Amino acid sequence: RRPNSNRVFTSHRAGLYLLGTGSTGVVETALALGLAQAAVTGVFSFALGPPPPPVSAAADASSLEKKSGLAEAMATPQGAALSAGIFFAGFTSLPLMLNSRMLLQDCFSPLVAPELVAPAAVASFVGYVSLANSAGRVAIGPLSDAAGLRAAYALCALQIPAVLSLPAIAGNAPADPEKALALWKVATCAVPAFYGGYVVLLAPAVARTFGSRRVGSVFPRIFAVLNLSNLASSTVIGRQREAAMEAAATDLAGFVDDAVFLEHFGTAKTDLARLVAVKTCTIPSLLAIAPAGTPDPSPLIHHDTLHLLGWTSALAVACHAGALWLGPRPTAAPR
């Protein structure tokens, strides 16, 4: 029991804590909230039923628009392509939006001046990422009205080079850290901007494919896939980060003398995996006792992750292109 426990925030004196786990509980809390959100959204979206069939169908209605059941419409290749497309778009973009602070600090904290990665500076960057996502939605929606869905989706395909530029920028960070940090921020903001386009174009794509009468029933089911993509991407990115941190620490430990390691950490290198898991042994702490000139692996921590996101971005483009190619051809050719 902490002294003055009947008062709120009166002291910073030590209390009772669970030590040695290396976890603050943030990841577990986020995972639990993600599962709860995915479950609730999924249940309610799949509880939606199709609207009542019209008395008479239009003579020029497409065959997909005449489908009598929602399940039959969702089982079409077009429904699968749109669902897969929005899944991969979310898998690519949501990690860069929700973990933009972590990615920036992992790659650039050891290299640039502390004020450039201070909490206030990073917080403003996170705000810019959210603003870019909103700007993409505002800009690409009118573009679709003016130039058509194909042109708007073609613009969203620029997300691929934006994502793939990130590992190249991080790899060149040791040569010019401040320039690399500026380019990283620009590329990171571009990714959620194009993701906003994918989100705002989903309803017009559903209307074009299944008819305007199906938007209210088909759109929520496809959009619910984003919850699964968020959960899947968070899990994959988190595990890849842990594996990359452990691999980098193992490589750095090879440069450190065994006696120096034992003196600094109080245990032999054979216990390295446990020390890394509980955050006792970190990349900065190993660099501090490594010989001078040992390369810092921090900029390449997320190298494999960013290449994976490049592939998923390409899959998002391919799936949306397939849905448009398979979609019905209305009487008036789309622009």
For 293-315, how does the pLDDT look when each residue is reduced to its tens digit (9 = 90+)?
Answer: 888 888 888 889 999 999 999 99
Which of 35-39, 61-65, 164-168, 262-266 is the most confident on average? 164-168
Could you tell me which residue, 277 or 66, shows the higher pLDDT? Answer: 277
Q: Which pLDDT score, from 0 to 100, does residue 173 have?
A: 83
CA distance readout (Å), 256 to 221, 261, 266, 267, 295: 54, 6, 14, 13, 13
Q: Which pLDDT score, from 0 to 100, does residue 266 have?
A: 84
pLDDT range class, residue 55, cuts 50, 70, 90: very low
Q: Which pLDDT score, from 0 to 100, does residue 3 have?
A: 46
Q: Which pLDDT score, from 0 to 100, does residue 152 have?
A: 92
Q: Which pLDDT score, from 0 to 100, does residue 294 have?
A: 83
Task: Kindly tell me if the per-residue pLDDT of 333 is higher than 50.
Answer: no
User: What mean pLDDT is predicted for residues 197-215?
Assistant: 87
Q: Which pLDDT score, from 0 to 100, does residue 315 have?
A: 95
Q: Which pLDDT score, from 0 to 100, does residue 16 have?
A: 45
Residue burial 171-191, b: 16+ Cβ < 10 Å; e: rest = eebeeebeebbebbbebbbbb
User: What mean pLDDT is predicted for residues 279-284?
Assistant: 84
Segment among 9-13, 87-91, 234-238, 322-326 with least mean pLDDT: 9-13
Q: Which pLDDT score, from 0 to 100, does residue 23 have?
A: 56
Distance CA 91, CA 312 (A): 7
Q: Which pLDDT score, from 0 to 100, does residue 15 have?
A: 42
Q: Which pLDDT score, from 0 to 100, does residue 62 have?
A: 47
For 252-266, how does the pLDDT look when each residue is reduced to its tens digit (9 = 90+)?
Answer: 888 888 888 888 888
User: What mean pLDDT is predicted for residues 111-121?
Assistant: 74
Percent of the chain with pLDDT strictly greater than 90: 22
pLDDT range class, residue 288, cuts 50, 70, 90: confident
Q: Which pLDDT score, from 0 to 100, does residue 44 have?
A: 59
Q: Which pLDDT score, from 0 to 100, does residue 127 have?
A: 85
Task: Kindly tell me if the per-residue pLDDT of 82 is higher than 80.
Answer: yes
pLDDT range class, residue 272, cuts 50, 70, 90: confident
Q: Which pLDDT score, from 0 to 100, does residue 2 have?
A: 43
Q: How far is CA 136 from the centre of its chain?
A: 16
Percent of the chain with pLDDT strictly greater than 70: 78
CA distance readout (Å), 106 to 1, 47, 198: 36, 42, 28
Q: Which pLDDT score, from 0 to 100, does residue 230 have?
A: 85
Q: Which pLDDT score, from 0 to 100, does residue 166 have?
A: 93
Q: Which pLDDT score, from 0 to 100, does residue 22 have?
A: 54
Task: Kindly tell me if the per-residue pLDDT of 59 is higher than 80.
Answer: no
